[in-house]
Structure 1
Amino acid sequence: MKCGTKRFEVTVKKDNRIATQEICPRDQIDARKICRRMYGEDKHIISVRRKK
């Protein structure tokens, strides 16, 4: 883990289903980048929320 990481919960719509993934990046922008790399550019990101 990098210094200053937080937990984010990313909700993605893929194949007409909603998937939730927990990611540990530094900020919301990195969370979106990681999610796009995992699921692909064509998937729709619904929300990125910080998990406490």
Structure 2
Amino acid sequence: IQMEPEFWDPNPNKICEKIFPPTFLFKPLSLKKTRKFYEFILVDSKSVSIKQF
């Protein structure tokens, strides 16, 4: 992953805290698009690899 040095942290939760304010809530543009929909986009574009346990 390429990331700006000021955002890097070994703890992924801290990375998110630095990027998104504590009161940030994502409002989807379309309620028909589920989390799976967005996961498939990321996997298909080879942006991420997701393992379900």
Q: TM-score of the superposition, structure 2-length normalised?
A: 0.29
The structure that is helix-richer by fraction is 2
Does 1 or 2 have the higher relative contact order (CA < 8 Å, sep 6+)? 1
Structure (1/2) with the larger strand percentage: 1
If you compute each CA radius of gyration, which structure gives the higher value, 1 or 2?
2
- Normalised by the size of structure 1, how large is the TM-score? 0.29
